[in-house]
Structure 1
């Protein structure tokens, strides 16, 4: 998971969130307690069959701003999906809920993910929050299944050296990697730091994301371009038909 706290926020346990005071409501601003946002998301995830494997929370010292990331347990192996949260009591930003396998939530207000819902703190937001969360989480099962099928396709598509060379060139042309990163990608392809299996599209995919050292997390456009190239490589190698869509990047550790 990716929760960056370097602009004043501190890591907190969930129980500590419950101890933070929530300012009184006004006619135009209705603060939602940070722990209530977590509670609603937790409850909705559980209702739709998602299991939280790990969670991290953070808040500014005055308790006005909250940031969190929840990791979902996967029955498909070595990657996880994540839900990112943020909330404020001082009108700095609206309620934020996001989903993706490479959610990036930061206390400097960066908020990057595949699906994002933002809502201002009004009386209607408080009333509508369960429904908003439900609309975001209800399709998660299908999205996670689509990701599983895409990764299975990558693992089933063997690549020879010519195909890898062509894919790396396409990645460069697409702006996913720079010339200075090509050597790092090839090093990981030949000698993977983790067990990414045989020489397949899955191994190449992980070689690229690992070589980028977090850059893929901070720029969702790179993830889309990366999947675009890997999907096209699978098609050219006869691995599968393109059309599963551009899916979020999995974790590696």
Structure 2
């Protein structure tokens, strides 16, 4: 399960529960997108486009009494036992979030997420949103392979970058200063860096630090999960490339 929410604002739910959340009324300026319909479209289009990949698992979380949805669909990638291709998506019934998708990877050993590139905010909940939704999902999922391969390349570069404790602590300060990590997440990242829960991340390098950070981000509010992971990936890869890792 790669969708882990450690906050009181969110909870894991089975897919069957999504259809039980009351759908708000449609108005002249607002057209809700049913959670269950969004999930069905992402799954159907993903399976059709991602030929050669095996659907591995799906995870769903709800917040605000079901008015906010965040979910992931993960596919097994041929010849890669460490990471899978992941589609993240979100939706809301209270006008707090536009429908959005992000594509990236999941790290199987620790169920961490890695998103790169911009969050595709596909559409506000205005008239004709359902008509436009399918084409927007298709365009996003077509970019999956490219984004996944970029993350694989970034991970290899990070693993080659040795990182001392002092450098890691400086990065923690930068991530906090850039509002990627909150004060409550800092101790989690520090603990995972100094005493990793997974032996795969015992080497002292940027990839281990990156995954320590994603452990901390599991406590992010559902509405901010994708943005936080994208910001983390961009900041760390920028720092890596600046130091001549690529």
Superposition TM-score tier, normalisation by shorter sequence: 0.5 to 0.7
Q: What residue is the counterpart of 2:20 in the other structure?
A: 19
Cα gap change, 1:221/1:98 in structure 2, threshold over 3 Å: closer, same or farther? closer
Give deviations 1:37-85, integer Å, cap 9, x for gaps. 0011111211221543222223357543322222332332212343222
Tell me the TM-score normalized by structure 2. Answer: 0.66
**How far does residue 211 in structure 1 lie from its aligned partner after superposition?**
4.3
Taking structure 1 as the reference length, the TM-score comes to 0.64
Indicate the residue corresponding to 1:245 in structure 2: none
Given candidates 191, 200, 207, the residue that maps to 1:195 is 200
With over 3 angstroms needed to count, the CA separation of the structure-2 counterparts of 1:171 and 1:10, relative to structure 1, is: closer
Number of paired residues? 215
Residue 155 of structure 2 contacts residue 207 of structure 2 at CA under 8 Å; is this kept in 1? no
Q: Which runs of 5+ in 1 are unaligned?
A: 103-111, 236-241, 243-253
Gaps of 5+ in 2: 107-114, 178-185, 221-227
Aligned counterpart in structure 2 of residue 59 of structure 1, from 62, 77, 82? 62
User: Are positions 1:141 and 2:145 aligned together?
Assistant: yes
Query: Per the alignment, do residues 78 and 16 of structure 1 end up closer, same or farther by CA in structure 2, a change over 3 Å counting?
Result: same
Matched ranges for 1:43-122 at <5 A:
43-49=44-50, 50-60=53-63, 63-75=66-78, 76-101=80-105, 114-118=117-121, 119-122=123-126
Per-residue deviation, 1:32:
1.5
Structure whose CA Rg is larger: 1
CA RMSD of aligned residues (A): 4.0
